[in-house]
């Protein structure tokens, strides 16, 4: 069972990560027509938004994990559509 403090922290984290103010320009661009969009396009848009977010967080040092994450997500984009460029 989680303590009250843990529950409050989790709630704050969840609200922060699910905030509509997050910079998800690719997902926002298709949100109004999401029902008519193929699943792969939704995945591509989300991956692109996550790549953009990781790139913004890169610092001169101690962010090798972000470079790795970007590489993995770019590889995933390539798997989904190898001809997208």
Residue 7 lies in a domain: no
pLDDT at residue 58 tops 90: yes
Rounded Cα gap, residues 11 and 28, in angstroms:
24
> What mean pLDDT is predicted for residues 54-68?
95
Residue 3 lies in a domain: no
Residue 29 lies in a domain: yes
Residue 35's pLDDT is: 76
Q: What stretches of 1-85 show up as alpha helix (H) in DSSP?
A: 4-17, 25-30, 39-57, 64-80
Is residue 68 very low, low, confident or very high in pLDDT (cuts 50, 70, 90)? very high
Residue 2 lies in a domain: no
Residue 33 lies in a domain: yes
Structurally, how many domains does the chain consist of? 1
Q: Could you list the residue range(s) of the whole structural domain that residue 35 is in?
A: 23-80
Residue 9 lies in a domain: no
- Total-model pTM: 0.63
Model confidence pLDDT, tens digit, residues 8-56:
554 554 444 444 555 678 877 887 777 788 878 888 999 999 999 999 9
Residue 56 lies in a domain: yes
């Amino acid at each position: 069972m989680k303590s009250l403090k843990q529950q409050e922290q989790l709630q704050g984290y969840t609200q922060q990560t699910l905030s509509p103010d997050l910079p998800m320009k690719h997902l926002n661009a298709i949100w109004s027509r999401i029902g008519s969009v193929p699943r792969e396009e939704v995945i591509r848009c989300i991956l692109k938004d996550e790549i953009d977010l990781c790139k913004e967080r890169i610092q001169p040092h101690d962010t090798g994990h972000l470079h790795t994450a970007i590489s993995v997500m770019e590889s995933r984009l390539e798997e989904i559509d190898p001809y997208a460029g």
